[in-house]
Amino acid sequence: MVQNEVLKRGLLALELVKYQQGITLKEVMNELNLSKSTAFR
């Protein structure tokens, strides 16, 4: 179950980058409520 959540968050991050070209890592972190270490993975 945990792996599914990780995959979902990863796909959401990719969608953000796809549709919001130029989005920064900080903006992705804020949008998805991710910690810095999680976002870097």
pLDDT of 24: 92
Q: How far is CA 14 from CA 6, 30, 36, 37, in A?
A: 12, 14, 16, 17
pLDDT of 15: 94
pLDDT of 20: 92
Q: Residues in the chain with pLDDT < 70?
A: 1
pLDDT of 11: 93
Whole-number Å distance between alpha carbons of 36 and 33:
10
pTM: 0.71
